[in-house]
Amino acid sequence: MTTLPFIKMHGLGNDYVYVECFRKETKDIIARTDLSDLARRVSDRHFGVGSDGLVLMMPSKIADAKMLIFNADGSEAEMCGNAIRCVAKYLYESQLCTSQQMEIETLAGIRPLKVQAMDGVVQQVTVNMGIPVIESRTLLCANNPIGYTFVNMGNPHAVFFSEKIQQLPADTNVEFVRVINNKELSVRVIERGSGETLACGTGACASAVAAIYHGLTERNVTVHLPGGDLTVQWKDNLYPIFMTGTAEEVFRGNYTY
């Protein structure tokens, strides 16, 4: 039997099981563990801890820390905007990183962050999400062409401004967007490997990018998700996009398997 300490955290209800891998004993456990299998086990909401996936927080040679993400189905993800805010919160509050500005390595590259803290407790985190890549595409649905906007935020997103879709693009995250006004969007997200989630940071950014690209909103957008709101800012098409939101710790425990 193996016992693994974990922290349960969420960003707007997009919840993950987090494992700190800075200590030797934990690193040794992770090194001999099938991480895809572990992600499936801990993510099960009936027989495990229950989450949208597993996140490992570990040392990095090129940044303040490194983040690895495994979806609930065991597949590995490149980036998660909600998860990275939670990682920043943990690093700062645990004093593993004492600066309010930090860099976190992901499979999508290094992401700079800035935490807003009060009395040592993180209130909000702003993430530099990088420069998005945008492309208009067409999906053939029941022999009818339906246009959508493909946005790469370090991970792939298909953004639809309609919910009348019978077939979804394969191997990508999907956002269904309703424009409320020129400053607000309402978004539902189906995450690759996890299903519909209460929030998705990269999905919120992709939705805002698509709306700005098509002239539907201004460049500062509030994205309403089932789990809460994120603020997205995109100064210009050649600039990185910035996302701001909360991060919350739920509980800590030990998972035995």
Catalytic residue ranges: 80, 200
- Of 204, 199, 238, 240, nearest to 222 by C-alpha is 204
Residue 92 CB burial class (10 angstroms; 0-12, 13-18, ≥19)? buried
Rounded Cα gap, residues 79 and 67, in angstroms = 9
